[in-house]
Each structure stands twice: as C-alpha cells, then as structure tokens.
C-alpha cells in the first residue's frame, strides 16, 4: 500500500515538474526581442538618435536602429544620414528620387526594429 502511494506521488511530482518546464518553454516571455519591438518611442526620443554613430529612423509607424546597417547602405552617406532621428517614411518610399526600395530592402528592416513610433 505504502509503496503504491510512494510510487504514484513520485510519478505525479515528475508530471508536475515536466508540465511547469514545458509551460515555461512554450509561453512567450515578457522580455526579449518581441517585447522590445513594441516599445513606444516618441519624436523627442527619436530625435536624440540623429547621428551616423547612433541612427534611429521612424518608417511606417515603426522605429529602426539602423546604425549597424549605415556603412552597408548602397547610397552615398549624405543621402541617408540626414534622415537619422527623423520620421523617414517618404524618404524610404522614394529614395529621395522617386523610386521605391526593393523587397530585399523591406526584408532587411525587421532586423533593426526597436519599437513603435508614437509621435
């Protein structure tokens, strides 16, 4: 009888441990990239990142920290750098000369997303 109680409580214990572990693994955390990407950034905060060494841009409602990408950007620095710290959707959509960026460019953006733009 005692052995049976001992055996079933041991099994139940490990089922509980496993359940907690799986629950923890599959539940999205409250910190990390997903939560950071939803951080609200206003125009004043955006404007504090207006240099090539620290370059944030708001494009279509999201904010991107593209500092690391700037040296790889195919245009002359003088074309893209003035948009650091600013709402740059129109510049992004036209490349300042009427042609939109490619899908490849669009696909790069999520990597640099740091928050939502709340002007």
Interface positions with ligand HEM (CB under 6 A): 57, 64, 66, 69, 73-75, 79-80, 83, 88, 91-92, 95-96, 99, 101-102, 104-105, 108-109, 112
CB of 17 to ligand HEM, least distance (A): 44
Q: Cα–Cα–Cα angle for 39, 45, 47, nearest 5°?
A: 135
CA 76 vs. chain centroid, Å, equals 26
46 vs 42: CA distance, rounded Å: 6
**Given the complex with ligand HEM, which of 5 and 53 has the nearer CB atom?**
53
**Given the complex with ligand HEM, which of 8 and 51 has the nearer CB atom?**
51
> Of 81, 10, 25, which is closest to residue 49 (Cα–Cα)?
81
**Given the complex with ligand HEM, which of 19 and 110 has the nearer CB atom?**
110
């Amino acid at each position: 009888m005692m052995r049976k109680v001992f055996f079933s409580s041991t099994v139940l214990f490990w089922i509980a441990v496993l359940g907690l572990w799986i629950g923890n693994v599959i539940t999205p955390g409250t910190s990390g990239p997903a939560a950071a990407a939803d951080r609200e950034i206003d125009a004043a905060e955006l404007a504090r990142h207006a240099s090539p060494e620290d370059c944030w841009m708001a494009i279509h409602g999201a904010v991107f920290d593209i500092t690391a990408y700037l040296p790889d950007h195919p245009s002359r620095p003088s074309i893209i750098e003035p948009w650091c710290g600013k709402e740059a959707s129109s510049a992004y959509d036209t490349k300042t000369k009427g042609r939109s960026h490619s899908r490849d460019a669009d696909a790069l953006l999520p990597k640099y997303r740091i928050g939502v733009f709340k002007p």
